[in-house]
Amino acid sequence: MTAAWSARLPARHAWLALAVVAVWGTNFVVIKLALAALPPLFLALLRFTLALLPAVLFLPRPAVPWRLLATYGVLIGAGQFGLLYLAIDGRIAPGLASLVVQTQVFFTITLAMAADGERMRAYQWPALALATAGIAVIAAHTGGDTTVPGLLLVLMAALAWAGGNQVARRMGRVDMLAMVVWSSAFALPPLLALSWWFEGPARWAAGLSAATPGVWAAVVWQALGNTLFGYAAWGWLLARHPAATVAPMALLVPVFGMAASAWWLGEGLPAWKLGAAALVLAGLAVNLFAPRRA
């Protein structure tokens, strides 16, 4: 189905969308590589520092209230990515994390129901059931490279991402890249405080001394490739095509994530993991395509 929808994009635009989801999917492996030397919260701090500087000097502040920028920055920076980095730091396999974090779709629906009085639509119940069944399969197979704390941390990261989505809805139509860059300023204080308290300067120094050029390349890629290129290109596509044409490509993010983790890191793909992936992706697909078919 994704191929059918992406066919509506001109070839160059379709390739650009594919490049974005490939970057976002394989970035889970890049995170794991950076965590080989750097503490997770400190890595998040470095990522959002590089996302902020020097781009903030060249991009005008989006015309939204400061409180919305601050809330978005805290939820995405300290919430989504801080928790995600903690999970991937030995608590869950990167490929599986790329799948579980997509449950943000259903958390977003739940928050919209609570905040805006939206109601669950008929097609969303089976979509939620499929995704929940997939998460249950993962929970039943914790151990080894996937732990219960890791699974819970990724689900909490997905909830924080959903909260960020709810804040972004309040902003209306804004320059996505500028919004991400400026909101990064508000991710830094909580990340700095949490990293100082839980990791401390001694771990920072040990991580920096152990960082190889490959680790630094992974850190830079977090900011330049995953954040600036990803959001700029995705925003550019959404400005030129309906969201219904571009959004289905995002289903490929966990596909790239799991494939890259299996290839580069040797993450196993047993039958239960593939089955869980099929259930979660099926739930996401039903939620995405059912209203368009109607």
Per residue in 204-220, pLDDT (tens digit) is: 999 999 999 999 999 99
Mean pLDDT estimate for the chain: 88
Q: What is the reported pLDDT for 74?
A: 96
Q: Which of 207, 205, 225, 206 is nearest to 217 (CA)?
A: 225
Eight-state DSSP code of residue 219:
H
Tokens of 190: 């909580």
Tokens at 21, concatenated:
């989801």
Does the pLDDT of residue 262 top 60, yes or no?
Answer: yes
Give pLDDT, residue 118.
67
Q: How confident is the model at residue 1 (pLDDT cuts 50, 70, 90)?
A: very low
DSSP summary character for residue 56: G
Give me the pLDDT at residue 3, please.
45
Strand partners of residue 143? 146
Q: How far apart are CA 166 and CA 50, in angstroms?
A: 25
**If you average pLDDT over residues 68-75, what whole number do you get?**
95
Return the exposure string of 207-223: e unless at least 16 CB atoms fall within 10 Å of the residue's CB, then b. beeebeeebeebbebbb
Find all residues with CB under 8 Å of 288, minimum gap 6, and list them: 247, 248, 251
201 preceded by a cis bond (ω within 30 of 0): no
What are the tens digits of pLDDT across the range 84-93?
999 999 999 9
Kindly state the DSSP code that residue 55 receives in the 8-state scheme. G
Amino acid at 12: R
Residue 43 has pLDDT above 90, yes or no: yes
Buried b (16+ CB within 10 A) or exposed e, 75-103: bbbbbbbbbbbbbbbebbbbbbbbbbbbb
Question: What pLDDT, in 10s, does the model give residues 45-68?
Answer: 999 999 999 999 999 999 899 999
Q: What is the pLDDT of residue 5?
A: 43
Residue length of the chain: 294
DSSP secondary structure letter of residue 270: -
Q: Per-residue pLDDT for 44 more than 90? A: yes
pTM: 0.90
User: What residues are paired with 146 via a beta bridge?
Assistant: 143
Closest CA to 157 of 96, 84, 107, 85: 84
